[in-house]
Amino acid sequence: MQQAEIETGIRLSFEKLVALLARIFIRNGVSPENAGVLAENCASCERDGSFSHGIFRIPGYVSSLKSGWVDGAAVPAVEDAGGAFIRVDARNGFAQPALMAARDLLIGRTKEHGIALLALRRSHHFSALWPDVEPFADEGLVALSFVNSMACVVPHGGHKAIFGTNPIAFAAPRRDEPPFVFDQASSALANGDVQIAAREGRLLEPGMGVDRNGEPTRDPKAILDGGALLPFGGHKGGSIALMVEILGAALTGGYFSGEFDWSEFKGAQTPKTGQLFIVIDPERGGNDVFRDRVSEISALVREAGQERLPGDRRMQSRTRSMAGGIVLSQANYDMLRSYV
């Protein structure tokens, strides 16, 4: 099928896809500045093969914008809490423009103090998390981010969904190779992957979720229709999901994943929660071999038999996309055109 798509699909350069997506965002009430940030984010996901967070998300973005639930033109308010602590009130806008508004200050404070924190609240995060952390590693910094989302995961042994998929992302620079970056949901599966499986009519592996009665199911539609996902790795993944609620929401002043009320906004799809960043200067105090050490442990993992490290596949997709363009199926291209 991928081969068929390549033959029959449309090829766009990264820049052209960004421009097309920016037009879609602007047409749907996003300010030009915010549209640029969201378009680059979404095009990066498509470019790198993060299809569940690429153009697949555009209908959801548009629907949410049209509902009035999210303010695409929001101007985030950066609140300098002094020292190494920065807060941002996203003012009901998207998280990525809120991050961009504070990014230079965050990097400056990290270099000044060795570590710094950014706490976003009243922010909508509807994309992958790795695009938020990777640029810090490109600057030689280590970054961690935590974002909660919308209630779709039951606690370990529980029956009611209260956690979001609650991903954690981590990035660290390496020597003469792209940074080590992972982005993983604390649910057994990402919501986007459940949606894609439902669309394709595939059954899921066992252990991914429960139906509306709390019974285990492999049917993605049963999970989406009143059911819920399970945390990955049993009670340990559940504890990580809870930590993400604490760091992403309690610490930032955002909503918990089960707390916001969008019932009056028909078509709303973007979870309005919070997001935390911790950024570290790993060379502070004279540790100038840090990049080499991260490359070293990455090599050891490969030698020990793990064929693919997190991020490897994204980097392969990126190289392919930058060389030959980003391939969209005719149907996807038409879908995008319909929103302009």
d(CA 97, CA 69): 17
Segment 259-318, which members bind a copy of itself (CB under 8 A)?
278, 280-282, 284-287, 290, 293-294, 296-298, 300-301, 303-307, 309-310
List 224, 243, 315, 335, residue binding a copy of itself (CB under 8 A):
243
Residue 162 near a copy of itself by CB under 8 A: yes
CB of 312 to a copy of itself, least distance (A): 12
CB of 144 to a copy of itself, least distance (A): 8
CB of 52 to a copy of itself, least distance (A): 16
Per-residue burial over 148-172, b = 16 or more CB atoms within 10 Å of its CB, e = otherwise: bbbbbbbbbebeebbbbbbbbbbbb
Per the DSSP assignment, residues forming a β-bridge with 142 are 280
User: Which secondary-structure segment (H or E) carries 180?
Assistant: strand 180-184
Is 193 considered catalytic here? yes
d(CA 137, CA 145): 13
Number of residues that bind a copy of itself (CB under 8 A): 72
Whichever of 60 and 158 has its CB closer to a copy of itself, that residue is: 158
Per CB under 8 A, the segment of 24-32, 124-132, 153-161, 312-320 that binds a copy of itself is 153-161
Whichever of 42 and 153 has its CB closer to a copy of itself, that residue is: 153
Whichever of 153 and 328 has its CB closer to a copy of itself, that residue is: 153
The full DSSP string for 276-319 is EEEEE-TTTTT-TTHHHHHHHHHHHHHHTT----TTHHHHHHHH
Strand, helix or coil for residue 202: coil
Sequence-ordered alpha helix ranges (H) in the chain: 2-8, 14-27, 32-47, 58-67, 95-113, 130-138, 191-200, 220-224, 234-245, 290-303, 312-324, 330-338
Segment 178-207, which members bind a copy of itself (CB under 8 A)?
180, 182, 184
Whichever of 149 and 321 has its CB closer to a copy of itself, that residue is: 149
Segment 20-79, which members bind a copy of itself (CB under 8 A)?
79
Per CB under 8 A, the segment of 15-23, 216-224, 245-253, 265-273 that binds a copy of itself is 245-253
CB-CB contact of 290 with 283 (8 Å): yes
CB of 268 to a copy of itself, least distance (A): 22
Tell me the helix, strand and coil percentages in the chain, rounded to 5: 45, 20, 35
CB of 284 to a copy of itself, least distance (A): 4
Residue corresponding to tokens 């504070």: 102
Residue 227 near a copy of itself by CB under 8 A: no
Whichever of 7 and 288 has its CB closer to a copy of itself, that residue is: 288
Is 53 considered catalytic here? yes
Catalytic residue among 44, 50, 52, 186: 52
Residue 234 near a copy of itself by CB under 8 A: yes
Strand, helix or coil for residue 91: strand
Question: Active-site residue numbers?
Answer: 52-53, 193
